[in-house]
Homo-oligomer: A and B are copies of this chain.
Amino acid sequence: MTERTTTETADVGEPRRRGPYRKSRLVRRRILDAALEVFAQSGYRTGSVREIAARVGMSEAGLLHHFPSKSALLAAVLAHRDAQAAERVDRDTDDGLVALARLVGLARADADRPRVVELYCVISAEATAPDHPAHAFFVDRYARLRARIADSFERVRDAGQLRDGVDPQRAAAQMMAVWDGLQLQWLLDRSSVDVAAELADHVQRHLRVPLPRA
């Protein structure tokens, strides 16, 4: 993955050279946005590079100049969105309760990003197949997320805020599960469920104290 930054353009006497690199970064960004939409709507396997290129307003070959292959493009999209989401939540807190509340807040904010929700729903299901290019990514992603949420539940327990008989590991798996499942129902019919409200209700059932709104 050839990441190109503007800092490479330090050849004096040719200040105009900064132009193309800036454009390239902008084009890459527009490609990622278009790829997100297409992969969300049609999945990775059926979504075509051709359609992505059309949305960006360039040819297929032109697009593949920025990303070496279709699967590399998918990887870039996933990495891009995950990094963005991590930024939202990872401002560190020792407070487990706040961490859980932030996840619910993320679910609430996702109501305005149906395309992103769709992307993860469709691609994660596809990536269930061991030969899928994003299979390893999602296996790792889920293990990582489960561990992080379990850690939050442990902090909640250490603070004496967890109900008796709740295992942090299992609570983490169940929270992720109900989140994913609610998103599926919501994508099928927007009026059928309120993802954030149900997720909050689920988490609350494990706690001794009210979940902050954060």
Number of contacting residues on A, CB 8 A? Answer: 42
Chain B residues near A46 (CB-CB < 8 A): 43, 45-46
Stretch at the interface among A14-22, A82-90, A187-195: A187-195
The reply to whether the CB of A143 lies closer than 8 angstroms to some CB of chain B is yes
The reply to whether the CB of A157 lies closer than 8 angstroms to some CB of chain B is no
Q: With A181-B179, A182-B177 known to touch, is A122 a contact of B118 (CB < 8 Å)?
A: no
The reply to whether the CB of A125 lies closer than 8 angstroms to some CB of chain B is yes
Q: Is the CB of A198 within 8 A of B182?
A: no
Tell me the complex Cα distance, A198–B178, Å: 11
Of the candidates B45, B138, B185, the one whose C-beta lies within 8 Å of that of A176 is B185
Q: Is the CB of A126 within 8 A of B174?
A: no
- Which A182-214 residues sit within 8 Å CB-CB of chain B? 182, 184-185, 187-189, 192-193, 198, 201-202, 205-206
Q: Is the CB of A201 within 8 A of B170?
A: yes
The reply to whether the CB of A139 lies closer than 8 angstroms to some CB of chain B is yes
Chain B residues near A142 (CB-CB < 8 A): 185, 188-189, 192
Q: Is the CB of B174 within 8 A of A198?
A: yes
Q: Is the CB of B128 within 8 A of A188?
A: yes
Chain B residues near A124 (CB-CB < 8 A): 125, 184, 188
Q: Is the CB of B178 within 8 A of A174?
A: yes
